[in-house]
């Protein structure tokens, strides 16, 4: 027995929409904690979502921008204290 998606359901689009939202959330969280991991993750997810043609293009672009901002914040803070980790 083979399980398939119903004819009216487009799972590929839903997956890319989920990637766009996940990139936004990871980019936003990356500004606060673990930006060395969450920033690149947000960039990759946003890039894949945009490449696959997500319906949530704005959310993916925000995730991409926030991922880049995470890395910029990391670079600035690394220059300020000379370490990879930082805290409040």
* H or E segment to which residue 15 belongs: helix 11-30
Residues 12-26: pLDDT tens digits?
A: 567 888 889 999 999
Q: Which residues of 49-74 are buried (b: 16+ CB within 10 A; e: fewer)?
A: bbeeebebeebbbbbbbbbbbbbebb
Residues 32-76: pLDDT tens digits?
A: 888 889 999 999 999 999 998 888 889 999 999 999 999 998 888
- For residue 88, pLDDT over 60 is answered with no
- For residue 81, pLDDT over 70 is answered with yes
pLDDT, residue 78, reads: 83
């Amino acid at each position: 027995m083979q399980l398939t998606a119903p004819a009216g359901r487009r799972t590929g689009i839903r997956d890319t929409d989920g990637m766009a939202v996940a990139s936004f959330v990871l980019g936003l969280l990356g500004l606060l904690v673990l930006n060395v991991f969450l920033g690149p993750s947000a960039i990759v997810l946003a890039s894949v979502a945009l490449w696959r043609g997500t319906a949530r293009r704005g959310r993916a672009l925000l995730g991409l921008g926030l991922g880049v901002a995470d890395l910029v914040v990391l670079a600035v803070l690394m220059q300020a204290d000379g370490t990879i980790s930082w805290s409040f």
